Amino acid sequence: MPELPEVETVVRALRDPLTGRTIVSAAYDWPNCLVTPDGPLFTARIAGQPVRGVTRRGKYILIALDPDTLIIHLKMTGRLYVAPDSAADEADRWVHFTFQLDNAHQLRFSDARKFGRVYLVEDPAQVVGKLGPEPLDDAFPLAAFRARLAGRSGLLKPLLLNQAFIAGVGNIYADEALFTARLHPLRHADTLTDEEIARLYAAIRTALIAGIAREGASVNWYRKPDGTRGSAQTALNVYGRADQPCPRCGQPIERTLVGGRSTHYCPACQARR
């Protein structure tokens, strides 16, 4: 599933072709992807709304219209791209939502597995209101991270994946952050020292910033809106590298399941204490 760096990359690529345009009409062929409102109301309500901007909240893409907000979650296999009306793309075979723009272009939502979700709401908080803070936001300093950890005793890996705790971190960047912080994914949050909390905070930000700089990790379905791959997967330390040598100490990277999620770590650098 695309995480914060992948979604941020998509948002940045969509801003220029979408901002200032008007959605003339919308069409879809998979109603289960549409969460709200009901189909006929959705197509009638979105028609004629101008695009004011494109932003991100956690793993959600927010397209600010007037007066509503179009929110899209890519889930596992979703891809958003803008193309001329007559242009064909290899991802078109999985397009289930098409938003016609006023300049003979379309915003297309391709989703092979059909797990993506689409919302049209008056208030974005209806969808993203329960998300935790943005880990790269200046309004989320180390002190705020410490405060959120206070009183928590759960395992570190599931905690980082909890979108109500912190928004946007997924499997890839949780593994990378824990490696950088030298913390075992099965450590309990209430066992962290002040110094370890500071390391983890910095490591989360480092992993996400590196992912954005490389325009996301194309380890599965993720592609940028222009169809090309991100390159973050070429610089991962542990994720997807089971049995390969640790880049820090040379020990083989191990893979296990934590909370049902594939988890990669170095047993030497991330010793469980």
pLDDT in tens, 152-202: 999 999 999 999 999 999 999 999 999 999 999 999 999 999 999 999 999
Mean pLDDT of the 74-78 span: 96
> In the structure, what pLDDT confidence band is assigned to residue 272 with cuts at 50, 70 and 90?
confident
**What is the predicted pLDDT for the residue at 188?**
97
Q: Is 181 helix (H, G, I), strand (E, B) or coil?
A: coil
Among residues 2, 5, 124, 225, the one annotated as catalytic is 2
The domains located in the chain, with CATH, are 4-128 (3.20.190.10), 142-265 (1.10.8.50)
Whether 158 is catalytic: no
- The span from the CA of 123 to the CA of 125, in Å, is 5
Whether 124 is catalytic: no
Mean pLDDT of the 107-135 span: 97
Among residues 59, 79, 187, 214, the one annotated as catalytic is 59
Chain mean pLDDT for the chain: 97
- The span from the CA of 85 to the CA of 178, in Å, is 45
- The span from the CA of 193 to the CA of 195, in Å, is 5
Q: Check: CB of residue 108 under 8 Å from CB of residue 81.
A: yes
- Amino acid, single-letter form, for residue 208: L
Whether 176 is catalytic: no
Among residues 15, 52, 146, 261, the one annotated as catalytic is 261
Give me the percent of the chain exceeding a pLDDT of 70.
100
Whether 2 is catalytic: yes
**What are the tens digits of pLDDT across the range 240-257?**
999 999 999 999 999 999
Reading the block at residue 47, the tokens are 């028609």
Q: Which residue has the tokens 């979604």?
A: 7
The enclosing H or E element of 226 equals none
Among residues 3, 6, 8, 215, the one annotated as catalytic is 3
**What are the tens digits of pLDDT across the range 84-118?**
999 999 999 999 999 999 999 999 999 999 999 99
- The span from the CA of 105 to the CA of 31, in Å, is 23
Q: Check: CB of residue 99 under 8 Å from CB of residue 26.
A: yes
- The span from the CA of 243 to the CA of 35, in Å, is 41
- Looking at the DSSP bridge assignments, the partners of residue 63 are 54, 70
> In the structure, what pLDDT confidence band is assigned to residue 273 with cuts at 50, 70 and 90?
confident
Q: Which one, of 216, 243, 211, lies nearest residue 228 by Cα?
A: 216
Burial of 107-121, coded b for 16+ CB within 10 Å and e otherwise, reads bbbbbeeeebbbbbb
**What is the predicted pLDDT for the residue at 67?**
98
The Cβ-side half-sphere exposure at 117, using a 13 Å CA radius, reads 14
Reading the block at residue 256, the tokens are 């296990």
Q: Check: CB of residue 169 under 8 Å from CB of residue 261.
A: no
